[in-house]
Amino acid sequence: MKRIKALIFDLIIGIPLGILLSDNLGQDRPLLSNPFVEPTFKESIRKTSENLIEKGGEVLEKSGQALQNKAQEDEFQPVPSPEPPPPQ
């Protein structure tokens, strides 16, 4: 009977506590901070700028790879010489 009471008590305390702590971890906040606080304007701008910089870097990497691939394809194809203009 003691084990059942302890199990119920652990579930009643552990589940809400775990939800609150995991919410803080999911929002990149300190573990024991208030999970119900709205982020300040400064924090939201910082997160947005970090995401923008990260996505911009990914786009630059992809475009650089595409240019390198295109340059490698063009290396192996001979460039046709231009035809001389017709005589007048």
Query: Would you say residue 81 lies in a domain?
Result: no
Number of domains the chain is built from: 1
Query: Would you say residue 80 lies in a domain?
Result: no
Assigned token pair, 1? 């009977």
For the segment 6-27, what is each residue's pLDDT rounded down to a tens digit?
899 989 998 988 888 888 888 8
Query: Would you say residue 54 lies in a domain?
Result: yes
Query: Would you say residue 1 lies in a domain?
Result: no
Query: Would you say residue 42 lies in a domain?
Result: yes
What is the C-alpha to C-alpha distance for residues 52 and 45, in angstroms, rounded to an integer? 10
Query: Would you say residue 79 lies in a domain?
Result: no
The residue type found at 81 is: S
Q: Quote the pLDDT of residue 62.
A: 93
List, in sequence order, every beta strand (DSSP E) within the chain: none
Query: Would you say residue 39 lies in a domain?
Result: yes
Assigned token pair, 31? 């573990």
**Inter-residue contact 2 to 10 (CB < 8 Å):** no
For the segment 24-82, what is each residue's pLDDT rounded down to a tens digit?
888 878 888 887 888 889 888 998 999 999 999 999 999 999 888 887 876 666 666 77
Query: Would you say residue 26 lies in a domain?
Result: yes
Residue 83 has pLDDT above 70, yes or no: yes
Local structure of residue 20 (DSSP, 8 states)? H
Range of the domain at 24: 8-72
